[in-house]
Amino acid sequence: MAARMSGHRTVEEHLGDVLAAVHPLPVETRAVADARGMTVRETARATVDIPVFDNSAMDGFAVRHADVADASADHPVTLRVVADIPAGSDADPILAPGEAARIMTGSPVPADADAIVPFEDTVGGLADSLTQTTVLRAPRPAAHIRRAGEDLRAGDPVLGPGTLLGPLQLGAIAAAGITDVVVSRRPRVAIVSTGSELVEAGAPLRRGQIPESNSVLLAAMAEAAGAEVDGRTSVDDEGGALRDVVDACAAASVDVIVFSGGVSAGAFEVVRNELSATMTFSRVGMQPGKPQGFGVLPVADGHSALLFGLPGNPVSAAISFEVFVRPALLALQGRTAIHRPVLRLPASVAWRTPPGRRQYLPAVVDTDAAWSVRPATAGGSGSHLAGGLGQARAVAIVPAEVDAVAVGDEVDVWLLEGWDA
Ligand SMILES: Nc1nc2c(c(=O)[nH]1)N[C@H]1C(S)=C(S)[C@@H](COP(=O)(O)OP(=O)(O)OC[C@H]3O[C@@H](n4cnc5c(N)ncnc54)[C@H](O)[C@@H]3O)O[C@H]1N2
Ligand code: MOO
């Protein structure tokens, strides 16, 4: 069981509350070409066999196996070439004993043929292929014939509900003759940064001001999790602007609002102050990401929106998204796998960890020799190290009971999108 600091909830408890509030979104039908990154919700079934018909795996000659069963370099066998079957041809030429058809990879194999002899196993190869050919090596029976339906039959399931449509999955369903796929509607997510110190990146900064960056970070993380970002806003700590944004989000019937900042213990915690009736604020036994807010807001048309109040420190916001918001977005889409796979990798340097809280450390995975993991930022796990975050492509997770990681210790690691770039 995860260790608990007094007054802290565990990550699992908080995530459990979040996931209990998730109801999968409605489905929609998408053209395959327009469905990358979406989640299948109804089994996609093949409309054609794969292969569609018996076809050749090699450029060469379709032959009657019995004619060439004894062919060898010492005993070459010459066949008459009576047909030419390019890819796309619907011809099914009759082959009498002693006859062959020139055939290309992917062309339909004549019903009379039961083996393919590649050009390489003939005397003249492609150069001398339209009148006769001399076979120098016996093919196995059925050699180089790809049988109809040996991969999938029409009606077979190609992809099941909960599958992410990546390039390979899209290729597979297109090959199976599927034109449209039933997927989850993308979650519509509003990103709301809070803080009177925040100004748009690039604007001149007076003392006390910083570039607003969490909305860029969180919008990108939401899109990477399959969501559609419905507005990025930054509001001050006064409260009026936040109320207006929440009203606009409710009217627009967004599925999720992700706030950052304004959830801890200060005097101007705008999310906490304005949304205390809708959201619950708790302290979670993790570092970063200790202060967390979560709630469900009724919005237009009887729907409701999930509200996440993430801490404002940029590393805290990123980790909190990864730990709580991303699984929720995937569950909304009906995705089967909502948690990242966990690797166990040895640490290549030593680092300290916060006592009593599970550490989620932005990390670098080195893959040049044996794989290893190290902190991404020289300053350790500081939740304000927003620039060093750019070095991270992974997260190292260290249990609350552990207070230091030594070189060679194995730790849990999540690889993030683009980890291999
Ligand atoms: N007395 C206590 N103080 C704090 C506690 C605590 O338990 N007791 N918890 C600390 C922890 S842990 C965290 S994390 C932060 C979380 O604070 P908030 O969520 O209220 O966030 P802010 O105070 O608004 O901002 C924190 C930090 O992050 C910067 N920030 C905020 N939003 C953005 C943005 N959109 N782009 C870039 N940077 C942003 C902000 O300027 C602050 O530096 O509270 C601790 N305090
Ligand atoms: O928990 Mo805070 O998120 O340490 O930085």
CA of 80 to the centre of ligand 1 (A): 83
Give me the residue label for tokens 């390979």: 168
CA of 381 to the centre of ligand 2 (A): 9
Question: Where exactly does CATH 2.170.190.11 map onto the chain?
Answer: 55-146
Closest by CA to 245, choosing from 279, 270, 208, is 270
pLDDT tens sequence for the chain (421 residues) = 444 556 799 999 999 999 999 999 999 999 999 999 999 999 999 999 999 999 999 999 999 999 999 999 999 999 999 999 999 999 999 999 999 999 999 999 999 999 999 999 999 889 878 899 999 999 999 999 999 999 999 999 999 999 999 999 999 999 999 999 999 999 999 999 999 999 999 999 999 999 999 999 999 999 999 999 999 999 999 999 999 999 999 999 999 999 999 998 888 899 999 999 999 999 999 999 999 999 999 988 889 999 999 999 999 999 999 999 999 999 999 999 999 999 999 999 999 998 899 999 999 999 999 999 999 987 666 888 888 899 999 999 999 999 999 999 999 999 999 998 8
Residue-level pLDDT at 214: 97
Residue-level pLDDT at 167: 97
Residue-level pLDDT at 5: 55
Question: Where exactly does CATH 2.40.340.10 map onto the chain?
Answer: 343-415
Question: Where exactly does CATH 3.90.105.10 map onto the chain?
Answer: 29-50+150-184
Please tell me the class of the 11-25+185-332 domain. alpha beta
Strands 404-405 and 343-346: unpaired
Q: Is the CB of 314 under 6 A from ligand 1?
A: yes
Contacts of 13 (CB under 8 A, 6+ apart): none
- Has domain 29-50+150-184 been given CATH number 3.90.105.10? yes
Give dist(CA 271, CA 191) in Å, integer: 13
Residue-level pLDDT at 383: 86
Ligand 2 atom closest to residue 289's alpha carbon, by position in its atom list: 3
Closest by CA to 45, choosing from 187, 148, 157, is 157
Type of residue found at 49: D
Record the pTM.
Answer: 0.94
Residue 357 contacts residue 323 (beta carbons within 8 Å): no
What 3-state DSSP class applies to 190?
strand
What 3-state DSSP class applies to 211?
strand
Q: Which fold has domain 55-146?
A: Molybdopterin biosynthesis moeA protein; domain 3 (2.170.190)
Give dist(CA 21, CA 41) in Å, integer: 19
Q: Which fold has domain 343-415?
A: Beta-clip (2.40.340)
Beta bridge partners of 81: 100
Q: Is the CB of 161 under 6 A from ligand 1?
A: no
Residue-level pLDDT at 62: 98
Q: What is the ipTM of this complex?
A: 0.98
CA of 311 to the centre of ligand 1 (A): 6
